[in-house]
């Protein structure tokens, strides 16, 4: 066997979803795991693993919590430089900040610079997998995948397609969206740890001809993900229905063009009609909750408890840069706060599961990342539960591990990320 490393600490994994029953019943805490060849080989008691792997190096993380790296299921890496920009509603924000910035990504050097900056920031915050919208420029996709490949990251991304309601320099055509997306898909999908997502931005920026073209491409490559936006704001929904007058609802503007399916990712999904909820559940599509973005832009409060109770697949995301942080810890804190406003107190186990296994499941990567189990890829983080004086003094009073973890979820930032492993290698 390739030389092994035993990582010692409080190793947190999940046997099932903590939304399926008592949250603490879903979690498992051991005190060691073994990494070899970029994968997790075994999880268990340190003394047992030390005896089973006598020649292994020991990486003692002390009281730190070892868990799967965070998985951010909906981001816009080209918006890195404009994060936390003052704005009003969604469309104003797009026109004022997003579209002018995305225009710059026709410059391959600029795209490369921002991709590197983006992955520096996300890795520092413990995020080991992202699913990103790029821009209409193939260079933006190449930069994202090439930088992820250089770092051995598992990521998903795709060329954003828009052939209307966008400024000059950011509009394509139905044919170029199909051709460019297909070429990029063939170049990157399945290479190393990279996956392609067919990416119509959202219904208002694509004509029906473009939606048909992208639906056809997805039918040709059903193993790919398809990512877009859905029911983020009420005035956006009205706009969609005016542009698609024959559509029954917002979701139908995708469905009638072949853009609703098992591998679909629908960001935000706040203001859903009953039919939309039923259809999303029937096909097994994933919803992606973006809490800091939803509050920052004033979109609304996602119904985590209600949608989970209906059996929806749900992931978690920063929605950089409409979201106001690169941190999945901050995103979990916002998830808790939004749920409180809807009358539900999410358990720390549920929050951590959403940011790891839940998001990995949304991306159809649950057999590779998002949990600590034998055979899984060793993308891991070590959480310091005393990263600041404020957090440390609260954790000192904890009576169990969950009470110790919760202050880090609510108040933690990149200082709480004590260590990151990518494919078993320390970063």
DSSP state of 320: B
**Cβ neighbours of residue 386 under 8 Å, at least 6 residues apart?**
392, 395, 396
Instruction: Examine the pLDDT at 332 and tell me if it is beyond 60.
Output: yes
Q: What is the pLDDT of residue 97?
A: 85
Q: Specify whether 299 is located in the same domain as 201.
A: yes
Confidence of residue 95 (pLDDT cuts 50, 70, 90): confident
Q: Specify whether 318 is located in the same domain as 410.
A: no
**Cβ neighbours of residue 416 under 8 Å, at least 6 residues apart?**
126, 329, 383, 384, 385, 387, 391, 408
Q: What is the pLDDT of residue 105?
A: 96
How far is it, in rounded angstroms, from Cα 416 to Cα 404? 13
Torsion of CA 413, 415, 418, 420, to 10 degrees: 60
Q: What is the pLDDT of residue 23?
A: 97
pLDDT digits (tens, 9 = 90+) for 247-274: 999 999 999 999 999 999 999 999 999 9
pLDDT digits (tens, 9 = 90+) for 206-263: 999 999 999 999 999 999 999 999 999 999 999 999 999 999 999 999 999 999 999 9
Supply 136's token pair. Answer: 């209409």
Q: Specify whether 130 is located in the same domain as 154.
A: yes
Q: Specify whether 212 is located in the same domain as 318.
A: yes
Question: Containing H/E element for 53?
Answer: none
Q: What is the pLDDT of residue 94?
A: 80
Q: Specify whether 41 is located in the same domain as 90.
A: no
> What ranges in 95-244 are assigned the alpha helix state H?
99-103, 108-124, 138-150, 174-188, 208-220, 234-243
Domain boundary among 316, 333, 362: 362
3-state secondary structure of 375: coil
Place of tokens 């008691």: 45
Q: Specify whether 264 is located in the same domain as 379.
A: no
The dihedrals phi and psi of 160, each to the nearest 5 degrees, come to: -75, 135
Buried-state track 122-149, b at ≥16 Cβ within 10 A, e below 16: bbbbbbbbbbbbbbbbbbbbbbbbbbbe
Q: Specify whether 121 is located in the same domain as 236.
A: yes
Q: Specify whether 134 is located in the same domain as 150.
A: yes
Q: Specify whether 331 is located in the same domain as 396.
A: no
- Nearest C-alpha neighbor of 319 from the set 206, 224, 236, 230: 230
Q: What is the pLDDT of residue 184?
A: 98
Domain boundary among 332, 362, 392: 362
CATH number, position 409: 2.30.40.10
* Under 8 Å between Cβ of 40 and 378: yes
Instruction: Examine the pLDDT at 1 and tell me if it is beyond 60.
Output: no
Taking residues 50-74, what's their average pLDDT? 97
Q: Give the CA angle between residues 144, 408, 416 to the nearest 5°.
A: 50
Q: Specify whether 260 is located in the same domain as 399.
A: no
**Cβ neighbours of residue 327 under 8 Å, at least 6 residues apart?**
125, 318, 412, 413, 414
Q: What is the pLDDT of residue 345?
A: 98
Instruction: Examine the pLDDT at 313 and tell me if it is beyond 70.
Output: yes
Q: Specify whether 330 is located in the same domain as 256.
A: yes
pLDDT digits (tens, 9 = 90+) for 179-191: 999 999 999 999 9
**Cβ neighbours of residue 13 under 8 Å, at least 6 residues apart?**
27, 28, 30, 43, 67, 68, 371, 372, 373
pLDDT digits (tens, 9 = 90+) for 360-399: 999 999 999 999 999 999 999 999 999 999 999 999 999 9
Instruction: Examine the pLDDT at 140 and tell me if it is beyond 80.
Output: yes
The domain tally of the chain equals 2
* Under 8 Å between Cβ of 233 and 300: yes
Q: Specify whether 179 is located in the same domain as 60.
A: no
Domain boundary among 362, 391, 413: 362
Taking residues 124-133, what's their average pLDDT? 98
Domain range for 410 is: 5-68+370-426
CATH number, position 78: 3.20.20.140
Q: What is the pLDDT of residue 108?
A: 98
């Amino acid at each position: 066997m390739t030389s092994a490393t035993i990582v010692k600490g409080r190793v947190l994994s999940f046997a099932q979803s903590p939304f399926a029953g008592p949250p603490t019943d879903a979690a498992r805490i051991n005190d060691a795991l073994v990494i070899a060849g970029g994968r997790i080989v075994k999880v268990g008691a340190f003394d047992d693993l030390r005896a089973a792997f006598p020649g292994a190096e020991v990486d003692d993380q002390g009281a730190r919590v070892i868990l799967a790296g965070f998985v951010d299921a909906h981001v816009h890496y080209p918006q890195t430089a404009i994060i936390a920009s003052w704005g009003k509603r969604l469309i104003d924000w797009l026109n004022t900040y997003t579209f002018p910035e995305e225009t710059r990504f026709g410059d391959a050097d600029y795209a490369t610079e921002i991709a590197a900056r983006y992955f520096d920031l996300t890795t520092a915050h413990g995020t080991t997998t992202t699913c990103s919208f790029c821009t209409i420029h193939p260079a933006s996709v190449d930069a994202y995948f090439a930088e992820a490949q250089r770092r051995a990251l598992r990521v998903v991304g795709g060329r954003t397609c828009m052939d209307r309601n966008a400024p000059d320099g950011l509009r394509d055509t139905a044919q170029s969206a199909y051709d460019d997306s297909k070429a990029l898909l063939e170049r990157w999908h399945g290479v190393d740890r990279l996956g392609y997502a067919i990416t119509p931005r959202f219904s208002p920026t694509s004509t029906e001809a473009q939606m048909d073209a992208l639906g056809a491409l997805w039918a040709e490559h059903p193993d790919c993900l398809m990512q877009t936006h859905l029911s983020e704001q009420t005035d956006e929904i009205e706009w969609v229905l005016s542009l698609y007058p024959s559509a029954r609802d917002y979701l139908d503007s995708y469905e009638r063009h072949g853009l609703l399916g098992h591998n679909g990712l629908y960001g935000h999904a706040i203001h859903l009609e009953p039919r939309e909820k039923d259809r999303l559940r029937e096909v097994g599509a994933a919803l992606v909750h973006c809490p800091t973005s939803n509050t920052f832009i004033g979109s609304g409060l996602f119904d985590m408890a209600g949608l989970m109770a209906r059996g929806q697949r749900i992931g978690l995301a920063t929605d950089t840069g409409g979201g106001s942080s690169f941190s999945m810890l901050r995103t979990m804190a916002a998830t808790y706060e939004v749920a409180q406003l809807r009358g539900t107190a999410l358990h720390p186990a549920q929050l951590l599961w959403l940011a790891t296994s839940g998001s990995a499941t949304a991306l159809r990567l649950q057999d590779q990342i998002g949990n600590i189990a034998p055979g899984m890829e060793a993308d891991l983080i070590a959480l310091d539960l005393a990263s600041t004086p404020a957090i440390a003094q609260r954790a000192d009073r904890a009576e169990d591990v969950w009470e110790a973890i919760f202050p880090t979820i609510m108040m933690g930032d990149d200082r709480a990320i004590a260590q990151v492993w990518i494919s078993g290698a320390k970063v």
